Amino acid sequence: MPTKINTTIMFVCLIASCNCFILSCKKKEDPEPQLQATFPTPSYPQPSDADAVLVAVMASVPAPVDLPTIPGMPASSLEIQYGMGIAAFKGNAKADNVRLNDTELKFANGVHMWQPDYSNLTNPANLTGITFTNGVNWKVTNPAIEKSLTNLPGTPKVTSAKTITKSAGYTITNQSVGNAQKILYGIYSADGKFVLKEADGASTQIHFSASELAELGSTEQGIIQANAYAIQDETIGGKKVYFVRQSSYSLVSVAIN
């Protein structure tokens, strides 16, 4: 499959992940514009030969508060994780029903999607989302699509610093992962500007030059993201279906200057 198609699919998934992270981690006292205002739910462009694109995502972000350090024990930090599903059909069509691991994906703005629901915090599933412990299982009616897939790639946890000096360039570093075909890296500023780069699935770092970062606006609320993914396609019932398995890690509250 051409890299251009891969990047198109992954880009819309990356934006969706950014929306959820900002909603879950923003601070009320922060006067700076938030990314959800400049990154609305996208229209989900698809490969020209796709009848459907079905995406399973496990997304992670550091929690705003670290766990207290215990003497004699290694330092640790909380992470927020949730499982998300995205299903887009040709012509922004609505399927009769889309379920990912028995969780229904609601239809809005031409796409079926699960995102965190902060209106009812008494139900943990509203925040943690879809569980992928037993792999990925899609069941769609009208069009009829059923597919079981293996586990998602590992989480490419970002380990680089949270301060970016544009004039000096910046290298994103991340933990190595398994089961990934590619890793898509992104840096976002709060003015809607962003830069993306892709590397092979074994990548543990990528460099952005000063010229590549020059267009990013200065902010204290930037995002660094690494997305490990695998894509496969299959013709089911005469329809070309792309299946994406993705694990994302977003470092938030990044200073860009």
pLDDT, tens digit, 9 for 90 and up, residues 220-231: 999 999 999 999
d(CA 1, CA 11): 16
pLDDT higher than threshold 70 for residue 123: yes
Strand partners of residue 173: 205
Structure tokens at 194: 């962003």
d(CA 197, CA 11): 11
Predicted confidence at residue 165, as pLDDT, reads 98
Greater model confidence, 201 or 37: 201
Q: Which residue has the tokens 């601070």?
A: 27
The answer to whether 227 and 135 have CB atoms below 8 angstroms apart is no
pLDDT higher than threshold 70 for residue 23: no
pLDDT, tens digit, 9 for 90 and up, residues 85-120: 999 999 999 999 999 999 999 999 899 998 767 677
Long-range contacts (CB closer than 8 Å, 24 or more residues apart) made by 74-79 = none
Structure tokens at 177: 């992962």
d(CA 233, CA 175): 27
Structure tokens at 119: 């209106």
The answer to whether 137 and 129 have CB atoms below 8 angstroms apart is no
Domain segments of the chain: what residues? 3-256
pLDDT higher than threshold 80 for residue 124: no
